[in-house]
Amino acid sequence: MALVKPLLGHTPTLGKDTFLAETATIIGDVICGDECSFWYNAVVRGDVHYIRMGNRVNVQDNAMIHCTYQKHPTNIGNNVSIGHNAIVHGCTINDNVLIGMGAIVMDACVVESNSIIAAGAVLLEGTRVPSGSIYAGVPAKKVKDITPELVKGEIERIAESYVKYSGWYK
């Protein structure tokens, strides 16, 4: 059974049709929308600030979402995929974004809609990713503009797939 734990007067609020893998951990001031999924060993820790997520957010295996005490909350839009082993910390991720496997998004970053952060990329503190961009590398830099085909073929496809996958486990 997943660990969903109240802390400091805040109880996580999960939207309808949310999937929690048995080893997922969600703590404190966390609110997520509908059709979200939290996979094996994912940790969403709203202990030092709040975490807000829209609909159809998938937090894949071993990913971690956290904040900075009294300084940087984490806000995640709709239709967002957070890849295996990714770290999303004290930042804003807008709608229709793919955070690749092992990527790190640090405090005060803003990832605008319809963007991809490549696997293994490190967005340094305060980086702003413009809408329609692909960022890669360490530190992450813009490598190209995203095509409408890539938005549909990757960002939307992965988010939709994780809604489907979670149905297998319910």
SS3 73: coil
Average pLDDT, the chain: 97
The percentage of the chain sitting over the pLDDT mark of 70, rounded to a whole number, equals 100
CB 68 within 8 A of CB 91: no
Could you say which DSSP state residue 79 is in? S
Q: Please choose, from the candidates 8, 101, 109, 87, the residue with its C-alpha nearest in 3D space to the C-alpha of residue 50.
A: 8
Q: pTM for the complete prediction?
A: 0.97
Spell out the domains of the chain, with CATH numbers in brackets.
3-169 (2.160.10.10)
Mean pLDDT, rounded, for 146-162: 93
Judged on CB neighbours under 10 Å (0-12, 13-18, 19+), 168 is exposed
Query: Does residue 150 have a pLDDT over 90?
Result: no
Question: Which pLDDT does position 64 carry in this prediction?
Answer: 98
What pLDDT, in 10s, does the model give residues 76-128?
Answer: 999 999 999 999 999 999 999 999 999 999 999 999 999 999 999 999 999 99
- 3-state SS assignment for residue 22: coil
Q: Average pLDDT in the 35-54 region?
A: 98
Nearest CA among 78, 81, 82, 25 for reference residue 52: 78
